[in-house]
Amino acid sequence: MIVNLGATVALTAMLGAAPAQPAPGPLPGTSARIVTKMAGRPIQFTSYATPDTSPPFRQRAWDPAKRAFVKTDATAVAVSPDGRWAASQAEGRGGGVPKVTLLDRKTGDRTVVELPSPADPEQANGYLNTIWPTWSPDGRTLLFNVFEAGFEPRSEGIVLVDVPAMKARFVRIENALITVGGFQWTRDSKGVVVRWGKNGESSIRQYDLTGAVKRTWHVRGRPASQGQGTFSPSGRRFVTACMSLEKSACVWDTATGKAVTRIKLGFSPVWSPVLGWYDERHLLAPVPQGIGIVDLKGKVVETLVKVPKKQGLYARFEARGNG
């Protein structure tokens, strides 16, 4: 079901113009700060939350028109690579029929799309958990994880929303091991990968968009979820958060599944697992002062956001296209 709310908001980006990116300065509501310009980068800093927001974990999302991070009612905000679409989900676990609100920043239109998923008789409201919006690299499809409750929740599948057609469909993929971030896109936007198996014996499995298994890599860790995502821009390598307590980043060769390198991640005050590709030779990763860029030997190339040790910060970085 789709409900069109019309052009109820002001335009937040001009046709043909690349959306503005955050400038150096403090992050409102925190003691963290951006310490370098974000404009012109292959990634965008789109939202963040802290444990003490009211209600907890409500996002502050970057608004290009206001050139500021603004408060939202959403527990998750995802921005398409070209900056045109902002998807927000106000309800997380157990809040009635799962929905997503899509803002078209070029027209100002907002559209609410109901997310189809199988019923769950064991949950009070009858709906499974449908969360974690993630854009495909081509910016045409929005993915949601659908899974059952539990300490080690198992996947029931994914919901795919075709944009701008606003058509949503459920794809059943059972028994994936859902950890932070869940399913992630392949570089060509034609498939998804997820951790599969059980703790200590898991692999990375790839599916097409009908739910058919395409291949399995017998590697450690879970697919990375931030920046350019799990796969490098060329698609030749992929990265997982691996080792005990995800204290390392493991890089693998996509064609062979062989290990390329393992990088020990230093202590970071950031609470959320910020890890993914920055460009072909660098990763977006936790660094001693907060969030930054490291090379494939683990050397810190640049710090993007400084976060004090006592500041809990849940940050979201996504891929950025040409706008």
Residue 323: pLDDT band by 50, 70, 90 thresholds?
A: very low
Give the span between the Cα atoms of 247 and 275, in whole angstroms.
11
Contacts 24+ apart (CB under 8 A), 52-59: 52/312, 53/29, 57/314, 59/88, 59/316
Distance (Å) of CA 195 to CA 166, 207, 249, 272, 281 = 28, 11, 15, 18, 24
For the chain, give every domain's residue range: 2-15+22-319
Q: Which of 259, 272, 128, 277 is nearest to 204 (CA)?
A: 259
Mean pLDDT across 49-55:
77
260 contacts 248 by C-beta, under 8 angstroms: no
Cα separation of 242 and 101, whole Å?
33
Q: What does the DSSP assignment read for 1-46?
A: -EEEEEE-S---S-TTPPPP-PPSEEPTTSS-EE-S--TT-SEEEE
* Cβ pair 198, 173 in contact under 8 A: no
Q: Which two tokens stand for residue 210?
A: 């009908």
Block residue for tokens 């971030």: 181
What are the distances in angstroms from CA 165 to CA 113, 128, 161, 298?
A: 11, 24, 8, 42
pLDDT value, residue 124: 52
> CA 211, 215, 220 angle in degrees (round to 5)?
110
Order of strands across the sheet that contains 237-242? 222-223, 237-242, 248-253, 259-264
Are residues 44 and 317 in contact, defined by beta-carbon separation less than 8 angstroms? yes
Q: What is the per-residue pLDDT for 108?
A: 93
Cis peptide before 55 (omega within 30 of 0): yes
* pLDDT winner (highest mean) among 21-35, 91-105, 125-139, 238-252: 21-35
Distance CA(5)–CA(274), nearest Å, equals 34
- Contacts for 47 with CB less than 8 Å, ≥ 6 apart: 59, 60, 61, 62, 69, 72, 77, 79, 315, 316
**CA dihedral of 314, 231, 22, 28, whole degrees rounded to 10:** 0
- Lowest-confidence range among 88-97, 202-211, 237-246? 88-97
What is the reported pLDDT for 6?
36
Closest CA to 45 of 217, 204, 272: 272
Identify residue 2 by its one-letter amino acid code.
I
At residue 216 the predicted structure's pLDDT band, cuts being 50, 70 and 90, is very high
pLDDT tens sequence across 278-322: 999 999 999 989 999 999 999 999 999 999 888 888 999 999 985
What residue type is assigned to position 217 of the chain? W
Q: Specify which residues 242 forms β-bridges with.
A: 248
pTM of the model: 0.90
Note the pLDDT of residue 321: 80
Q: What is the architecture, at CATH level 2, of domain 2-15+22-319?
A: 6 Propeller (2.120)
